[in-house]
Amino acid sequence: MKSPQLRRAPSIIAAGTSVVAVALVGSLVALGSDAAAAPVAVGLGTAGSFAVLAGTGITDTGPTTITGDVGSFPTATITGLTSITLSGTNHAGDSVTQTAKTDLTTAYTTAAGEGPTTAITADLVGQTLKPGVYNSASAVGLSGVLTLDAAGDPNAVWVFQAGSTLITASGSKVVLLNGAQSCNVYWQVGSSATLGTNSTFTGTVLALTSISLQTGATVDGRVLARNGAVTLDTNTITRSACSTATATPSTTPSTTSTPQVTATPSGPVGTGDNSTG
């Protein structure tokens, strides 16, 4: 006859297995939540080489400097091209531009679908935002300074979703802090974007309709308009590119703070690899 301890063993094992299973499920759920909460960079495809991309033409008034490619399709017209200093290729409406427009549509849809989202107010002035997906069902505006803090993570991503317009005021700024990179900032705009006079803007603007840069506005990023025009006036637009991510150096003191002393070679000097024989 089995002892009472042996008879109880299967139930004890079963109970222990259930506890472990519950713990594992809980861990997986927690990991899934963390993974879902982290935004991912929006793939731009061939549109990534463009600093300015439009649907119904590009117009410039006043000296503008563009670093990156430009193009427009299906309307390929670029007005004021002689006043643009271009470090890149003018693809006008060629096949490269056409492919880029297709990739822009995909990127726009991707940005619009990222989540989970955090609701934001109509004016982002004075806020310091950690990486995430920020959503407004209507307009997004900026009347002053917005700070994006990467907390030391060079791969940190921000996605801003505006249900209608994006409008920044004159002299407004988007400031990057603690390793944040402009290449990882995206603005998905449900209609049109307007960047105010002498404003300093950061990130890639993906607008459904048009984009207008008022006099003196600068962009560290891209202005990409799916269906409308891009209007420029004495601006500086620099296509952003991510620098190679490197680990933050450890601040832990070294355990070998005192240099080690090595013995002096007893043989003749100059017998190593650099010897000429």
Tens of pLDDT along 223-268? 999 999 999 999 999 999 898 655 444 343 443 333 443 343 434 3
Tens of pLDDT along 177-217? 999 999 999 999 999 999 999 999 999 999 999 999 999 99
Residue 36 pLDDT: 38
The answer to whether residue 13 is domain-embedded is no
Query: What's the one-letter identity of residue 21?
Result: A
Tokens coding 82: 């002689």
How far apart are alpha carbons 155 and 140 in whole angstroms? 24
How far apart are alpha carbons 129 and 116 in whole angstroms? 15
How far apart are alpha carbons 150 and 17 in whole angstroms? 41
Residue 243 pLDDT: 83
Tens of pLDDT along 51-76? 999 999 999 999 999 999 999 999 99
Tokens coding 274: 């650099």
Q: Is the pLDDT of residue 85 over 90?
A: yes
Residue 116 lies in domain:
45-238
Residue 1 pLDDT: 52
Residue with tokens 């005192």: 258
Which of residues 34 and 215 earns the better pLDDT score? 215
The answer to whether residue 246 is domain-embedded is no
Give the confidence band of 3 by pLDDT, cuts at 50, 70, 90: low
How far apart are alpha carbons 228 and 239 in whole angstroms? 20
The answer to whether residue 33 is domain-embedded is no
Q: Is the pLDDT of residue 145 over 80?
A: yes
The answer to whether residue 212 is domain-embedded is yes
Residue 38 pLDDT: 76
The answer to whether residue 137 is domain-embedded is yes
The answer to whether residue 60 is domain-embedded is yes
Pairing relation of β-strands 132-136 and 118-119? Answer: parallel
How far apart are alpha carbons 9 and 76 in whole angstroms? 79
Would the pTM of this model clear 0.95, i.e. be above it?
no
Tens of pLDDT along 105-138? 999 999 999 999 999 999 999 999 999 999 999 9
Q: What is the mean pLDDT of the chain?
A: 83
Name the domain count of the chain: 1
Residue 8 pLDDT: 52
The answer to whether residue 28 is domain-embedded is no
Torsion angles phi and psi, residue 19, rounded to 5 = -65, -45
Tokens coding 25: 């499920």
Residue 5 pLDDT: 52
The answer to whether residue 19 is domain-embedded is no
Q: Is the pLDDT of residue 32 over 50?
A: no
Cis peptide bond N-terminal to 10, omega within 30: no
CA 170 to centroid of chain Cα atoms: 24
